[in-house]
Amino acid sequence: AQTVTQSQPEMSVQEAETVTLSCTYDTSENNYYLFWYKQPPSRQMILVIRQEAYKQQNATENRFSVNFQKAAKSFSLKISDSQLGDTAMYFCALGLIQGAQKLVFGQGTRLTINP
C-alpha cells in the first residue's frame, strides 16, 4: 500500500520570503510520479509541479521547485519569493505508473502568506 505524509498542518511566512513544505511517502514500487497540488479557497485543485521518479534532476516551475530524495522517500516543495496569491492548501500526492492511474494524497499543509 502507498502512503503520503505531510507533517506540517500549517505554515505562515511573510511575502517575498522562501518557504519549504515537507512530504514523505512510502511505496514498494519503483516507477511512480510525485505531485504537488494547490487548493485555494475556491476549492479548485491546481497542479503546481510534477516529478518522475526515474529522473534524478529536480523539477522546477518558475518560483516552485522540489527537492526529491528517492532513497529517503522525501519530496519537499520550495516556494521562492512567495506571493499573497500562494496562500492555499498544498497537497503532496503519489501516483503509480502501472495500474489504475490513481493518486494517493497527503493530509495537506495550509500555507498563509502574510503581507
Partner 1 sequence: NAGVMQNPRHLVRRRGQEARLRCSPMKGHSHVYWYRQLPEEGLKFMVYLQKENIIDESGMPKERFSAEFPKEGPSILRIQQVVRGDSAAYFCASSPPHGLLNGYTFGSGTRLTVV
Chain residues that interact with partner 1, rule: CB under 8 A: 4, 33, 42-47, 91, 93, 95-97, 99-108
Toward partner 1, which CB reaches closer, 80 or 104? 104
Question: What is the rounded CA–CA span in Å between residue 89 and residue 105?
Answer: 12
Provide the minimum distance between the beta carbon of 15 and partner 1 in the complex, in angstroms, as a whole number. 25
Toward partner 1, which CB reaches closer, 50 or 80? 50
DSSP state of 73: T
Provide the minimum distance between the beta carbon of 58 and partner 1 in the complex, in angstroms, as a whole number. 19
Residue 3, CA distances (Å) to 44, 68, 75, 82, 107 in order: 23, 16, 13, 28, 10
Angle at 104 between CA 103 and CA 109, to 5 degrees: 115
Toward partner 1, which CB reaches closer, 33 or 80? 33
Angle at 71 between CA 37 and CA 38, to 5 degrees: 5
Provide the minimum distance between the beta carbon of 67 and partner 1 in the complex, in angstroms, as a whole number. 21
Provide the minimum distance between the beta carbon of 101 and partner 1 in the complex, in angstroms, as a whole number. 4
Count of positions (residues) in the chain: 115
